């Protein structure tokens, strides 16, 4: 009996199925429901009592050998199949084309503006979209009864008279001035919100870039020179006009127009027949604002400005409807794939 089992184990060890079918034959023969090992267990009744235990273990060994061998053979066959696939790899095949996306026109315009001011030594500062009343209004010298504080113009957070969506990027001025002393030279790009009816020319959300320069002896002439340089770089002309204006946080205040001319219909329309395009609001930082933020107005002075991005992007790319910026229609965005 023992010799029979021994022969079987040798047979199993020597087996070498080459294909899947042959492996399946192996499985049926040694591990299937009618396998050849099973009857050997039955033979135990013909084995002398004192050898029964040893015989049982030996047959078990045959069964384990078959199981191990099967696992090994299966693995070897699968590996071989993998190698066969590898032979099909064609390294000369062209790769999948990588489709490039495009930058949003607001981002490109913003990047241009930021890089112009960076060349003049301004660094980028940021503040939160959800602001508190103090940074957005109080610190910026905007009186309690100012119409901008009205619910009609400002989005307040639900059940709050304190937290709001910032209506301009000017609160970043307060955030910077309360956390550092002059010299300060920053620009702050960001999204702002106003409770306005959405149309082709106005939106409830848009983007601004704020600028702030505070140091000893900063003058109105410094501001004008800075803005002239900006106009030259952005619009290709230093021809600007400062019109007297009013903002609670600057004194004196002005609005700046850039000369775009009227030599084509587009510029005529954009400038409403004047040749001038309004770009930004600016002025000397009101001493009260410096004081509110812990900066000595006797020692320091500064200028600030704030400009909308959308209008500049509209002029730059000849876009006539502000809503297009926020719809993310791929057919619109794809047109800017060549713009960096």
Query: Which residues are near ligand PHE by CB under 6 A?
Result: 168, 170, 210, 247, 250, 281-283, 304-306
Q: Which is nearer to ligand PHE, 8 or 174 (CB)?
A: 174
Whole-number minimum distance, CB 202 to ligand PHE, in Å? 13
Whole-number minimum distance, CB 197 to ligand PHE, in Å? 18
Q: Which is nearer to ligand PHE, 74 or 205 (CB)?
A: 205
Q: Which is nearer to ligand PHE, 12 or 176 (CB)?
A: 176
Return left, alpha or beta for 186; rule: phi > 0 is left, psi -120 to 50 is alpha, else beta: beta
Whole-number minimum distance, CB 281 to ligand PHE, in Å? 3
Whole-number minimum distance, CB 187 to ligand PHE, in Å? 11
Task: Tell me if 314 sits within 8 A of 320, measured CB to CB.
Answer: yes
Q: 151 CB contacts (<8 Å, ≥6 apart)?
A: 195
In 3D space, the residue among 272, 271, 269, 245 whose CA is nearest the CA of residue 256 turns out to be 245
Whole-number minimum distance, CB 263 to ligand PHE, in Å? 29
State the DSSP code for 247: E
Q: Which is nearer to ligand PHE, 25 or 138 (CB)?
A: 138
Burial label, 230 (beta-carbon count in 10 A; 0-12, 13-18, 19+)? buried
Q: Which is nearer to ligand PHE, 11 or 222 (CB)?
A: 222
Burial label, 169 (beta-carbon count in 10 A; 0-12, 13-18, 19+)? buried
CA distance 335 to 58: 78
Helices (H) and strands (E) in the chain, counts: 13, 9
Whole-number minimum distance, CB 305 to ligand PHE, in Å? 5
Whole-number minimum distance, CB 292 to ligand PHE, in Å? 15
Q: Strands 123-124 and 240-247, how do they pair?
A: unpaired
User: By Cβ distance, which residue is nearest to ligand PHE?
Assistant: 306
CA distance 340 to 325: 17
Q: Which is nearer to ligand PHE, 109 or 173 (CB)?
A: 173
Q: Which is nearer to ligand PHE, 65 or 250 (CB)?
A: 250
Helix axes 310-317 and 105-119, enclosed angle (nearest 10): 110
């Amino acid at each position: 009996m023992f010799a029979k089992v021994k022969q079987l184990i040798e047979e199993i060890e020597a087996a070498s199925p080459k294909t899947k079918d042959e492996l399946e034959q192996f499985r049926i023969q040694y591990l299937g429901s009618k396998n050849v090992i099973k009857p050997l267990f039955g033979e135990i009744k013909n084995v002398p009592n004192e050898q029964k235990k040893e015989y049982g273990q030996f047959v078990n060994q045959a069964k384990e050998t078959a199981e191990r061998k099967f696992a090994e053979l299966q693995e070897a066959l699968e590996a071989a199949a993998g190698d066969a696939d590898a032979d099909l790899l064609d390294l000369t095949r062209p790769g999948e084309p990588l489709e490039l996306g495009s930058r949003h026109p607001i981002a490109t315009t913003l990047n241009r503006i930021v890089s112009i001011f960076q060349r003049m030594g301004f660094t980028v500062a940021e503040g939160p979209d959800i602001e508190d009343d103090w940074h957005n209004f109080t610190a910026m010298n905007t009186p309690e009864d100012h119409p901008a504080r009205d619910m009609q113009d400002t989005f307040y957070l639900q059940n709050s008279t304190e937290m709001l969506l910032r209506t301009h990027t000017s609160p970043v001025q307060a955030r910077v001035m309360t956390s550092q002393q002059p010299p300060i030279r920053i620009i702050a790009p960001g999204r702002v919100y106003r409770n306005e009816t959405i149309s082709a020319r106005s939106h409830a959300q848009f983007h601004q870039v704020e600028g702030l320069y505070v140091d000893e002896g900063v003058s109105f002439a410094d501001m004008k020179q800075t803005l002239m340089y900006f106009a030259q770089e952005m619009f290709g002309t230093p021809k600007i006009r400062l019109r007297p204006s009013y903002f609670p946080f600057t004194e004196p205040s002005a609005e700046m127009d850039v000369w775009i001319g009227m030599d084509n219909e587009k510029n005529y329309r954009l400038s409403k027949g004047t040749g001038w395009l309004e770009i930004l609001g600016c002025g000397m930082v009101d001493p009260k604002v410096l004081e509110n933020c812990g900066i000595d107005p006797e020692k320091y002075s500064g200028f600030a400005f704030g400009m909308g991005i959308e209008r500049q992007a509209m002029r730059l790319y000849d876009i006539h409807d502000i809503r297009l910026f926020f719809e993310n229609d791929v057919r619109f965005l794809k047109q800017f794939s060549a713009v960096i």
